[in-house]
Structure 1
Amino acid sequence: MSDRQKGVLAALEMKWPRSNTRFYVRHIIANLQKQHKGPLNGKHVWKAANCSNHRDFMEAMEELKTYNPEAYIYMTKVPLKQWAAHVFDANVKSEHTTNNITECFNGWVNKYRGHPALTLLENTRRKLM
């Protein structure tokens, strides 16, 4: 999972070129809201992101297009394989599971980020035990 930081994406592509990468939909929506104001943009994007098949996804995207054409164009430029559940690999757990686990871990480890690496690892080990 990534918040679309260019350095992280480049490093992943270089070190693990066949890995699956996903973007946090929450971060995509935040960037979308900065450029295209509208209270329901997020609602439409979440609906599209969570669709399990192409037909429902296209319906949700049409709703977004009707509501805010500029937001629709913005979302079409974000690669589907990185945010739309209907195109995720079948052998990868659902986006919700992966995203929730990642968000929980990031929330917990955040207080240790400034510590030396061994302290971070020890605290992670203790938490997992």
Structure 2
Amino acid sequence: MLPLYEGKTEKITGAAISDFFVSKGFTVGASAISRIKRVLDEANSIERRVSYHKLESYLKLMAEKKPGSVWKFEKEGDGTFKRACFIPNIGIRVARMARRLFGVDGAHVKGEMNNYGVVLVATAKDYNNHILPFAFSLVPTENNENCCWFLRLVHDALGDLECFTVLSDRQKGLLAAVAEVFPLAGHRFCLRHIKENINRKGISLTAKERGLINDMARSDCENDYDVFEKELARTKPAAVEYLKDIDKRHWVKYKYQ
């Protein structure tokens, strides 16, 4: 095993390869190390591509073992992987029995797979406030086309469920997809994401200021909202300006429709 490898190809550096050969009593030149690194990278790339081909048969097998599951696997014109989705039968039953509140989120695949797509997940919330992931998809990017593709599969799995609330971040592709696939659903923005985005703007929030934003979101009337907004404006006016750009219908209680 190469030193510093730890099962991740990005850690197979030229220095690690050199140290490996030195530990075995060999001296290898820079050009040879470069060729070895190239061969290792190519071998691992082939292994990753092969794993995507195996994914289709794996999803098919799971669907056969779990009747009622929804799955889809798509390839590009040249046969390479495009996108995949799996919604297990138990996930469908859980979602249909849960509260009418579903979350949708996406995350880039990390590590060696970092350049190979985004995982989209739909979650339900039961009556004990447990978050229950029930639908999973791997797509190239989190754009409108892929979000619509995923949500249509979720729509088909849920059947006649139409009136519920979707909770998500403010990713543009997802915003349009929810409105297109679930026109009768309410759409709320995740408050945690809103506060994280404020921090990413360089506006550092204290615990008290984060609490004020929570209070603004839970306001039962405009007067309550204005009171909390004015208090936040005294210490973080930039945060108030940021929040003004977000449609209240999607994150403030008294504006919900």
After TM superposition, is the score higher than 0.5?
A: yes
- How far apart, in 1, do the equivalents of 2:233 and 2:244 lie? 10
| TM-aligned CA deviation for residue 63 of structure 1 | 0.9
Structure richer in helix, relative to its length: 1
**Which string of whole-angstrom CA distances, capped at 9 and with x for unpartnered residues, describes residues 22-41 of structure 1?**
00111101111221113133
Structure 2 equivalent of residue 37 of structure 1: 204
TM-score (norm 2): 0.33
Contact in 2 for aligned 1:33/1:41 (Cα 8 Å) = no
Structure 1 equivalent of residue 253 of structure 2: 85
- How far apart, in 1, do the equivalents of 2:252 and 2:215 lie? 10
Q: Aligned pair 1:24/2:190, yes or no?
A: yes
| TM-aligned CA deviation for residue 18 of structure 1 | 4.5
| TM-aligned CA deviation for residue 79 of structure 1 | 0.7
TM-score (norm 1): 0.63
Q: Aligned pair 1:46/2:239, yes or no?
A: no
Structure 1 equivalent of residue 239 of structure 2: 71
Q: Note the residue ranges of structure 1 that are not aligned, 5 or more in a row.
A: 90-129
The one-letter amino acid of 1:38's match is L
**Which string of whole-angstrom CA distances, capped at 9 and with x for unpartnered residues, describes residues 41-71 of structure 1?**
3111101111111100111111111121111
Residue in structure 2 matching 1:4, options 152, 163, 170:
170
Q: Note the residue ranges of structure 2 that are not aligned, 5 or more in a row.
A: 1-166
Residue in structure 1 matching 2:179, options 13, 22, 29:
13
Structure 1 equivalent of residue 230 of structure 2: 62
- How far apart, in 1, do the equivalents of 2:243 and 2:232 lie? 9
- How far apart, in 2, do the equivalents of 1:27 and 1:64 lie? 18
Change (3 A) 1:33 1:41: farther
Structure richer in strand, relative to its length: 2
The one-letter amino acid of 1:32's match is I
The one-letter amino acid of 2:231's match is E
Question: Number of paired residues?
Answer: 89
Structure 1 equivalent of residue 84 of structure 2: none
Aligned CA RMSD, in angstroms, stands at: 1.4
- How far apart, in 2, do the equivalents of 1:41 and 1:71 lie? 9
SS of 1:63's partner is helix
Structure showing greater Rg: 2
